[in-house]
Homo-oligomer: A and B are copies of this chain.
Amino acid sequence: MMGVLVLGTVALDTVKTPFGWHERMLGGSAAHFSMSARLFTDLSLVAVVGEDFPLEHIAFLRAKGIDLSSLAIKKGKTFHWQGEYKNDLNSAITLKTELGVLADFNPQITIEQSKMKYLFLANVDPDIQFSLLKLMRAPRIVALDSMNYWINTKRKSLLKILKKVDIYVANDQEALSLSQESNILQAARSLNKIGAKMVLIKKGEHGVIFYNGRSFFSLPAYPAERVVDPTGAGDTFAGGFIGYLAMKGKVNDQEIKNALAYGTIAASFNIESFGLEKTAKLKMKDIDTRLIKFKNCVNF
């Protein structure tokens, strides 16, 4: 079965930015990833929510065509993140993290899902990422995201799973921290030596760098003049990137560069509104229209 399986969080996000304040919106890495990946391919989501999770959010995700058969609903509270962006919209200040049911999440998937070929392990405990990876039959592409918290507390687990990963996805700070390098290109090389076949480093407003084990690709961000809420931009990027590769069914240099451009465009919509507001309404033609503008902006 083609399509993408994503493991991650489905969360309630409370976010304040200079443009406003929204309480307990639908968010989380798997939700943001899905909202862009669904445009390209079939999408199955593996996550856990608590009994307080609003039914309307489930109806909403289902209406977007996302397979929720492995969205577990457990006794307890849904993962809740509260954060604020001040004038520098590139860095979030975390005010509160309530793990709730995420604390002892043990992902289960269907037999059909175990046969899926494209897997995205969004940022959760690397041991949980590993337990899901073991359930997969023969994935063609495994991509993995993490965060500083796990790099600091579960470094060993993370380095172990990295050896099984095709594409390690990180932001610049995480890449430097895990590799202990001071230059992000050297970080990419080093993470490749440690085990990841390919490395994708997200630099927010400064775009992305990709290392395929031999050479680098680099793309700037889409020129964004009004950033309202960047929460989830990285996962939205990953959704466009992996979603495109799954749609194409092949991974070569040219398709990777196209996938980076599609991820860039998906993320550029995400940051224009709070939560999933903008990406939920996106159609493939919106992406394609902006991609042409982007091509004109960066190709010479």
Contacts and interface: CB of A to CB of B under 8 A. Distances in A.
B218 A297 contact: yes
A217 B296 CA distance: 8
A228 interface: no
B223 A209 contact: yes
B297 A215 contact: yes
A257 B185 contact: no
The prevalent SS among residues of A at the interface is: mixed
Interface in A202-234: 203, 206-207, 209, 215-221, 223-225, 227
Interface residues of A, number: 32
A156 to B, nearest CB: 27
A257 B296 CA distance: 10
A214 to B, nearest CB: 12
A252 interface: no
Contacts of A227: 183
A261 B225 contact: no
Contacts of A186: 225
The 5 closest A-B pairs by CB, nearest first: A257-B300, A218-B220, A206-B206, A216-B223, A185-B225
21 contacts: A183-B227, A185-B225, A186-B225, A189-B225, A206-B206, A206-B207, A206-B220, A207-B207, A209-B223, A215-B296, A215-B297, A218-B220, A218-B221, A218-B297, A218-B298, A219-B298, A220-B220, A257-B300, A260-B300, A261-B300, A298-B298
